[in-house]
Structure 1
Amino acid sequence: MRKGKAALLLTSWKIARAYWFSEEKWSAWRLLLTVISLNLGIVYILVLINTWQVNFYEVIQSHDYGGFMEAIGKYSILAGCLVVVRGYQIYSRMLLHIRWRRWMTERYLSDWLYNKTYYLLQLSPDHDTDNPDQRISEDIELFVWLTLRLSLDLLQDLVTVLSFIMILWNLSGIVTFSVGGYLISIYGYLVWVAILYAGFGTYWTVKTGRPLVKLDFDLQRYEADFRFSLMRLRENAESIALYGGEKQETWSFGQGFSKVVATYQNIMVVRKHITWLTSAYTQISAIFASIAAAPRYFSSQIHLGQMFQIVDAYNHVQTGFSFVVDSFTRLAQWRAVVNRLNNFLISMEMVRSQSPKASKLDISRKIFSTYSAKNLQVLLPDGSNLIKDFSLSIKPSEKLLIMGASGCGKSTLLRTFAGIWPYASGTIIVPEGQKVMFVPQKSYLSFSSLREILFYPEIVKGDNDKKIQEILVMCKLPHLVDKLHKVADWGQTLSLGEQQRVAFARVLLQRPSWLFLDEATSALDEETEQAIYQMIVDKMTNTAIVSVGHRSTLMKYHQMKIELNGAGNWAVKKISR
């Protein structure tokens, strides 16, 4: 158990320390010290209020109206100061929260996108990260909030205990009783009573609530899986509608949501038991201090003001000792969040560091006149050969067509050319300073304006709407010329054929020197396909084009073809006219 707790604390520190020793460390530490100072200020004011109670109840007991009004005035000042300090404390804590979250979000996004880690995570069968988007959008927020809340609450509780325990010790006096003829004296008995009471509550809270850690972890995962399945339905609405798959989808959603319901019901049971325990603990503690202090009051060892001071001090000490009791649900949630974020970090590190069964692909940019591949070995994730000993030099303005049966590795060869397929070895030489563009079968269309989509991934510059509109017409998209500035989910709004024509409009606008097309016209009819290819060939005479396709009609737009047989072998042939 101790080893597990130590490992958890080390893991949480590993996640947190990156921010506290980052380029923002000085402002972060200054803000943290401000929050801590305000917390200490709150405790100090509470000590003053505790001391004030002695005088307040004394003037009431002696019917001193003047003293009563003076005490009210003092309390008003103390209460006003407490309100102001608490306001600044909340503001400072929230400011630290959002700065820390912003930094962590930027860091995790950068790591996720670095060297196409997001893509490698999908390819890796061994990674232990579900729903990376939720790790970044939700778990970082929870980690920052819970870490600040728990650590600052713990610090404030410790300071509160140390501040009030001396008051309680001094007011406790000495309790003496006889056991077997021996007199036993207990100093500060109210302190020991508070410690025993808090220890009892902590033990039973931990024992009762231990299952919450795993249950909260599972609930987060099931919720994310259910939300992802709903998103998949929206993204594939047309295909599902054509298949008439509503019944199957309903069953699938029901299966996913049933896990959410079952886990939530288990959490309900555990939290019901914890609520019973903590509620009883709190209610008993409200009167427990009075019962504990009663012997001294009724034996006239303390007066009424001191009686109320004891009750207030006892409640503060007992609350400080009861950190685990009051925060157990948050502690369980925090532990689950730390585990999820740690798994995410480990998975990203693993997919970046793990070498596939073949050696790594060497990609270099040189001042070369050709886009070259040397001694490529392209494998499947299980280590079997897909393409063996592949070497090729693509000259400027050259047009090549890659053909072969489905599953023979055509698209994977293009992924290797792009440097994103991790199960490959050999050398790729990319001409330095020249634009390379890869166009997949289904191009990515972000949720933004059509104008921004056409320049993706570049940032839109200048006012060239007229040129863009001319290119849209050339790509048989005249109905989109007046929608350049419309923001929409174009991936859902446009048909697959329209999306492919938008991709070619993007090509004409960005004019790469090396263009790789992965069945980029598969959704177009032959007449439109030929018109698009002819336009690309005519308008981009200096661009080298490498196409993956099945239709023999594409041959007339290419000079050479590469045939793959799926067994690792390949051949380059000249296309006869």
Structure 2
Amino acid sequence: MLITFTVILWQSAGTLSFTVGGTEWNIQGYMVYTVVLIVIGGTLFTHKVGKRIRPLNVEKQRSEATFRTNLVQHNKQAELIALSNAESLQRQELSENFHTIKENWHRLMNRQRWLDYWQNIYSRSLSVLPYFLLLPQFISGQINLGGLMKSRQAFMLVSNNLSWFIYKYDELAELAAVIDRLYEFHQLTEQRPTNKPKNCQHAVQVADASIRTPDNKIILENLNFHVSPGKWLLLKGYSGAGKTTLLKTLSHCWPWFKGDISSPADSWYVSQTPLIKSGLLKEIICKALPLSVDDKSLSEVLHQVGLGKLATRIHDHDRWGDILSSGEKQRIALARLILRRPKWIFLDETTSHLEEQEAIRLLRLVREKLPTSGVIMVTHQPGVWNLVDDICDISAVI
């Protein structure tokens, strides 16, 4: 359609003739040249007026994402916030987040308002401009009233089609902001190193290794130890020494290391705070298990880990993440461990919310049920240290 009406505009507008310095000039299809120049100028001015919309949209998405994240975190920690009388502090933090959103909204609306003003002026001007451009032709009799209206209509259709960028600038700016955010995320994932330990199912071997931060600062160095199947190793060290980071490295989840590290890729990592969601209790416990578990076996394991009171509720649907205490969640994590029977296990403060004697009993149960599994563990409960075969003092190699 654009090509068709461009041809019509070229033919219907005729030739513009004028004299400059004694030289006569004849420009055939001058209306086509005019509309192209007008659209180019309008596009450049539109970009000048609206170029701030793109970064403002990026800021808008970032500030809104921060606000939503803080709302979710505060909702999860609502009870702790109330018990610690931190409501006013958290309310102030959320108010500051919302104030950032509001300020960005005002700046964005102001910039879009000026863009709307320009788009309206541009659109209105295009509706009357053809009359002035064709007036010399009409007065000289080169075109009649019908030709004038025909040329104006063709001018409007051609200009509107060529002005798509101008009229859609705000939408394109928002799309560009989304692309910027996605590209930034993609760049961060691309910059993440792909370094992983060698996949070895027969042992965990660490030789002359160092663990680092993403900005290449050394956390641990000169690491050397070996763990065979069925053996238990304790990683000992002060809080913040890097024990958890080392376990993440052995679990193939921390790529910032150097040296020779070999560990199984299908190991089972048990954290200090197990993930417990809402749903059927049996599904929550048995999720990610390779084989189905019957109710009798599940009830037996629950009794063994000290959760006999839940054995009759395995088919109940509830918000278990809110109902269960920290210690009960850790017991469920150990129940999962016994049911899954992995060959390699990494325990990161897995019994920290349990009394020491109960922690000893449960870990003995794990060793009894999984005699061939290799275990590397972190714990600050001295009574548990007697259960392991060897100790690697992380503090001594920093």
TM-score by length of 2: 0.86
Contact between 1:363 and 1:419, CA under 8 Å: does it hold in 2? no
2:198 partner letter: I
Contact between 1:361 and 1:427, CA under 8 Å: does it hold in 2? no
Identify if the C-alpha distance between structure 1 residues 299 and 451 changes in structure 2 by more than 3 Å, giving closer, same or farther: farther
- Distance in 1 (CA, whole Å) between partners of 2:78 and 2:33 is 66
Is 1:521 aligned with 2:324? no
Contact between 1:386 and 1:568, CA under 8 Å: does it hold in 2? no
Contact between 2:207 and 2:259, CA under 8 Å: does it hold in 1? yes
1:265 matched residue in structure 2: 106
Question: Shift of the alpha carbon at 1:186?
Answer: 2.9
1:363 matched residue in structure 2: 198
Identify if the C-alpha distance between structure 1 residues 326 and 544 changes in structure 2 by more than 3 Å, giving closer, same or farther: same
1:106 matched residue in structure 2: none
Identify if the C-alpha distance between structure 1 residues 282 and 475 changes in structure 2 by more than 3 Å, giving closer, same or farther: same
Deviations for 1:107-164, whole angstroms, at most 9, x for unmatched residues? xxxxxxxxxxxxxxxxxxxxxxxxxxxxxxxxxxxxxxxxxxxxxxxxxxxxx2x231
- Distance in 2 (CA, whole Å) between partners of 1:307 and 1:455 is 79
1:333 matched residue in structure 2: 174
1:439 matched residue in structure 2: 270
Alignment of structure 1 residues 224-303 onto 2, 5 Å: 224-290=65-131, 292-293=133-134, 302=143
Question: Shift of the alpha carbon at 1:534?
Answer: 3.3
Q: Secondary structure at the match of 2:297?
A: helix
2:262 partner letter: I
Identify if the C-alpha distance between structure 1 residues 301 and 465 changes in structure 2 by more than 3 Å, giving closer, same or farther: farther
Question: Shift of the alpha carbon at 1:493?
Answer: 4.5
1:429 matched residue in structure 2: 262
2:32 matched residue in structure 1: 191
- Distance in 1 (CA, whole Å) between partners of 2:240 and 2:172 is 50
Q: Secondary structure at the match of 2:350?
A: coil
1:412 matched residue in structure 2: 245
Question: Shift of the alpha carbon at 1:557?
Answer: 3.1
Is 1:396 aligned with 2:225? no
1:568 matched residue in structure 2: 397
- Distance in 2 (CA, whole Å) between partners of 1:383 and 1:288 is 63
Q: Secondary structure at the match of 2:372?
A: coil
Question: Shift of the alpha carbon at 1:238?
Answer: 3.2
* Number of residue equivalences: 398
- Distance in 2 (CA, whole Å) between partners of 1:519 and 1:467 is 26
Contact between 2:356 and 2:384, CA under 8 Å: does it hold in 1? no
2:235 partner letter: I
Alignment of structure 1 residues 343-362 onto 2, 5 Å: 343-352=184-193, 362=197
Contact between 2:286 and 2:293, CA under 8 Å: does it hold in 1? no
Alignment of structure 1 residues 364-383 onto 2, 5 Å: 364-365=199-200, 368=202, 370-379=203-212
Pick 1 or 2: higher relative contact order, CA cutoff 8 A, min separation 6: 2
- RMSD of aligned C-alpha atoms? 3.1
Please, which of 132, 151, 160 is the counterpart of residue 310 of structure 1? 151
1:499 matched residue in structure 2: 329
Deviations for 1:236-262, whole angstroms, at most 9, x for unmatched residues? 333323322211112212222222222
- Distance in 2 (CA, whole Å) between partners of 1:207 and 1:190 is 26
Structure number having the greater helix percentage: 1
- Distance in 2 (CA, whole Å) between partners of 1:340 and 1:225 is 14
- Distance in 2 (CA, whole Å) between partners of 1:391 and 1:314 is 79
Q: Secondary structure at the match of 1:284?
A: helix
Contact between 1:399 and 1:544, CA under 8 Å: does it hold in 2? yes
Please, which of 548, 553, 561 is the counterpart of residue 378 of structure 2? 548
- Distance in 2 (CA, whole Å) between partners of 1:489 and 1:352 is 38
Question: Shift of the alpha carbon at 1:431?
Answer: 6.1
Question: Shift of the alpha carbon at 1:452?
Answer: 3.8
Contact between 1:362 and 1:425, CA under 8 Å: does it hold in 2? no
Q: Secondary structure at the match of 1:441?
A: coil
Contact between 1:361 and 1:426, CA under 8 Å: does it hold in 2? no
- Distance in 2 (CA, whole Å) between partners of 1:362 and 1:371 is 10
1:509 matched residue in structure 2: 339
Alignment of structure 1 residues 116-127 onto 2, 5 Å: none
Identify if the C-alpha distance between structure 1 residues 554 and 297 changes in structure 2 by more than 3 Å, giving closer, same or farther: same
Deviations for 1:93-112, whole angstroms, at most 9, x for unmatched residues? xxxxxxxxxxxxxxxxxxxx
- Distance in 1 (CA, whole Å) between partners of 2:74 and 2:152 is 60
Is 1:323 aligned with 2:164? yes
Is 1:470 aligned with 2:305? no
1:172 partner letter: A
1:135 matched residue in structure 2: none
- Distance in 2 (CA, whole Å) between partners of 1:188 and 1:210 is 33
Contact between 2:6 and 2:154, CA under 8 Å: does it hold in 1? yes
- Distance in 2 (CA, whole Å) between partners of 1:429 and 1:199 is 62
**Structure 2 unmatched runs, 5+:** none
Deviations for 1:391-412, whole angstroms, at most 9, x for unmatched residues? 3332333233333322233323
1:260 partner letter: I
Identify if the C-alpha distance between structure 1 residues 441 and 311 changes in structure 2 by more than 3 Å, giving closer, same or farther: same
Please, which of 9, 12, 19 is the counterpart of residue 171 of structure 1? 12
Q: Secondary structure at the match of 1:443?
A: coil
Alignment of structure 1 residues 55-134 onto 2, 5 Å: none
